[in-house]
Chain A
Amino acid sequence: MTEPSAAVAPPQHPQGGLVGPALQPTRDLGATLPDLLDALLDKGVYLDLDLIVTVAGIPLIGVNLRAAVAGVETMLEHGMMRGWDEQTRAWVRESLARNVPLSADEEVVARMPGGHRRDAPPGDWRPGTVYLTSRRLLVWRADPREMLWQAALEDIIGIDLRTERSVGGEDRDRLAVTTRAETALLSVAAPGRLMALLREHGPDAPTHAPELRAQVWYLEERRGAPAWRGGTGTLGPGGLTWQGAGDVSPAVRAREIRTVQVRRARTPVGRQVLLVSADEGTVRLATRDAAWARALTSSVHEHSGGDPCH
C-alpha cells in the first residue's frame, strides 16, 4: 500500500477532534504502474469505425465494438476470437504460436490464467495458462516451457465445477474435467465462463448433474485394525471419490461402481455400512446423508447398468 506523504494542515473531525492531515494521492509511477496499465488497456474512448486496426493489441475488424474497450487479456478470457474475421484470427494465432505449441489449423478460442493440480504426489498446483482451442483444452507453462496438462476435446466426457477452499482460504470454483483416463482439476480465472465455452465448443461435451458431496466416513484398512475416518465423499461424472479431512488428495477413487450393498455393522454414524465394489476394489463407507447414499446406489444403474443389491 502506498502511504502518500502529507502536506496540508490537519482537518477537523466533525465532532471536533483532529483526524490527521488529508491523505494525498500519489502519482509516483513506481506505485501506480499497475493501475495505469489497467486503465490504458481496459478503458478509454472507443470508436465505431470499421477501419480500426487494433484496440489494445488486437486487430479489430467486425468485432463487437462494445467489447473493444476491453484489453487483450479480457477479450481472450471472454473467448471473443470467434467473432473475428479469418485474417484477424490468423494474426492472433501467429502471435500466440510464439508462446504455446499449437498445430497449424488449431485456433485459440479462449485463454486465461490458471493451473493444473498434479494427480501424483505431492498433488500440488502448478500455475500456467489455460487455453481452450478448437481441438484441445490445455494448461501451458511458458517459463520453463512445459505442457502441464492437456486433453483432446473429443476425449472429454464430463465437465463440472467444484468448490474448494484455496490455500488463501477463499472458496474457489475449480473446473473438474473428466476424460476416459482421469478427472483433472484445473484452476482458472473464470471457471464458469470456461465451462460455458467448453460446452459450446466441445464436440458434444455433455452436461452433468452437479456433483454431490456429503460428510462420509471411510473404513481405512490399516495395519492392525481398520479405522473409520471422517471426510468428504463426492459423486460425479468421474465416479466416486472420498477425501479425508486434511488429506491433499482423495484416498478412494472408484470410476465405475459395480455394486453397492448395505450391511449392518457399527459405524461412527449409525449401524449401516455401504459396501461399494468397483474395479479398483471394495470399500466400506458410512454416512448420515440419506440422499447421498441413494445417489450412490443409483449411480450403479447409470454407469454400469449393474444390479444394486440391498
Chain B
Amino acid sequence: MTPATTEGLYLYAVTAGGAEGDLGTGIDDARLHRVSARDLAAVVHRHTSGPYGGADEDVRRRVVEHSEVVDRLWQAGAVLPVSFNVIVAGNAQAPARRQVAGWLDRHAPRLTARLDQVTGRGELQVEIGLEQHEAAAGDPRVLALRAELEERPAGVRRLMTKRLEQLERDATAALAGDLYPELRRRLVATAPDIAENRRMHPERGVVPVLGLSLLVPLDQVDQVGIELSRIRAELPAVRIRYVGPWPPYSFADLPGTTST
C-alpha cells in the first residue's frame, strides 16, 4: 500500500482552469485549493489522516459538506463532481499534487469535452410512482372484491382487506410496467442526456414506475416541470418526486479513462 505518511489530497471536483480567488472551506472546515494542469483544475483539500469513516451521522454530515463545495463550484461554472472520500496519496517520487496534475494532464481532452457537455446544465432527478389505491380503483377484479367486501362481517372483511391490498398492488405493478415506456419517452424528450436511477425512494403504498436523472440546460428546467405537470394532470394516481437542479453527479463519468 502507498505510504500513508505522505500528505494526500482529498478531491471534490474537476473544473475549468483559469479561475482564481478564494474557494472557501470544505469538509470539517478544511481550506480548499486548486491543482491546475492545462486548462483544468481539481478542487482539493490537504488531507493527512485516513479516509472518512465513523458513525452514519458524521458520514452524512460530511457528504453534505462535500456536496456544498461541489454545488458552490457548479453555481460558478461547469464541474465534474468527484465521489465522496476520494483521496489521492503521494509517495517519495511524486507528491499527491503532482499525481493529480499528471492525471488532469493525461485526460485533459476527455475531461474538457465532458465539461463542455455539462456547461450550463444541471441534473434533475425524477421519480414517478403510482399510488396503488387510486391507480387500481378501476380494476375489475379490485371492484369485484370491493363489492364483495361490503357485504361481509367485520372479521372476514379484515382478511379480505389484505387480499384487496395485494390485488391493488399487483394491478398497479402491471399498470406501472405499461406506463414506463410512454413516461420514459416523454421525459427523455425534455433532456439531452439521461441516466437511469436503479435506486428509488417510493413512499408506502406507492409502486415505482421509473427513476431518471436528466441533464437539462438550466434555462429549460421548466420544460421538464411542464411535462411532469401534464403527466400529473393526465394520471391523477401518479406521485412525483422531483429533485434538483444539481451539479451533474450522474453525468461525470468519463468513458475510457480507466485502465480496465
Contact = CB atoms under 8 A, between A and B. Distances in A.
Contacts of B254: 45-46
Contact of B242 (A26, A45, A71): A26
B95 to A, nearest CB: 10
A95 to B, nearest CB: 6
Nearest to B84: A40
A32 B123 CA distance: 13
B226 interface: yes
Residue with the highest number of chain B CB atoms closer than 10 Å, among A8, A27, A36? A36
Interface string A22-51: 111111010111111111111111111111
A148 B11 CA distance: 40
Given A2-B242, A11-B229, A46 B87 contact: no
Contacts of B25: none
Given A40-B63, A61-B2, A27 B246 contact: yes
Contacts of B67: 36, 39-40
A8 B226 CA distance: 10
Interface stretch (B16-24, B47-55, B139-147, B149-157): B47-55
Interface stretch (B28-36, B177-185, B199-207): B199-207
A221 to B, nearest CB: 26
A19 B229 contact: yes
Contact of A25 (B14, B201, B243): B243
Given A25-B225, A45-B252, A48-B258, A1 B240 contact: yes
B166 A51 contact: no
B81 A52 contact: no
Contacts of A38: 197, 199
Nearest to A54: B51
Given A22-B225, A42-B83, A88-B1, A37 B258 contact: no
A57 B52 contact: yes
Interface string A85-114: 101100000010000000000000000000
Contacts of B224: 23, 25
Nearest to A246: B159
B170 A169 contact: yes
A34 B259 contact: no
B89 A169 contact: no
A64 interface: yes
A59 B88 CA distance: 11
Interface string A53-73: 111111101001110010100
A58 B84 CA distance: 11
B232 interface: yes
Contacts of B8: 53
A71 B249 CA distance: 14
A53 B83 contact: no
A57 B229 contact: no
A4 to B, nearest CB: 6
B196 to A, nearest CB: 12
Contact of B4 (A49, A53, A69, A169): A53
Contacts of B50: 53-54
B241 A1 contact: yes
B99 A20 contact: no
Contact of A56 (B2, B11, B84, B170): B84
A88 B223 CA distance: 47
B119 interface: no
Contacts of B66: 40
B232 A31 contact: no
Contacts of A168: 169
29 contacts: A1-B129, A1-B241, A19-B230, A19-B232, A22-B228, A23-B229, A23-B242, A25-B124, A29-B64, A40-B83, A40-B249, A43-B250, A43-B253, A44-B252, A45-B11, A46-B83, A46-B86, A46-B258, A47-B86, A47-B88, A47-B257, A51-B91, A53-B89, A54-B85, A57-B59, A87-B1, A169-B166, A169-B169, A169-B170
The 7 closest A-B pairs by CB, nearest first: A22-B225, A54-B51, A44-B83, A39-B249, A53-B87, A87-B1, A19-B233
